[in-house]
Amino acid sequence: MIRLGVILVVLLAGCVPQSGTLVSDDTGLSGRYSGQVVISDHPHHVLYGHVIEAQRNGEITRALVISQRRDGVHNLRFQEAWMRGVELPFSRSGALSGCSHGQCLNRHAGMILLSDALFTHARNNGLQVRLIGGQDNVDIRVPAELFQLPPP
Q: Which domain holds residue 11?
A: 2-147
Query: Secondary structure of the chain: what % helix, strand, coil (to 5)?
Result: 20, 45, 35
Query: Is 152 contained in some domain?
Result: no
5 closest CA partner among 89, 87, 104: 89
Domain annotation covers residue 91: yes
Strand partners for 129: 140
> Cα Rg for the chain, rounded, in angstroms?
14
Name the phi and psi angles at 65, rounded to 5.
-95, 130
Residue 26 within any structural domain of the chain: yes
Task: Measure the CA–CA gap between 20 and 12, rounded to whole angstroms.
Answer: 10
How big is the CA angle at 111 (ends 134 and 106), to the nearest 5 degrees?
85
Question: What is the pLDDT tens value at each position of the chain, 152 positions in all?
Answer: 444 444 444 444 444 557 888 888 888 888 999 988 999 988 778 899 999 999 999 899 999 999 888 776 777 889 999 999 999 999 986 544 555 445 556 778 899 999 999 999 999 999 999 999 877 789 999 999 999 998 87
Measured distance CA(96)–CA(11) in Å, rounded: 16
From first CA to last CA, the distance across the chain in angstroms is 20
Q: Is residue 44 part of a domain?
A: yes
Q: Is residue 32 part of a domain?
A: yes
Please tell me the total count of domains within the chain.
1
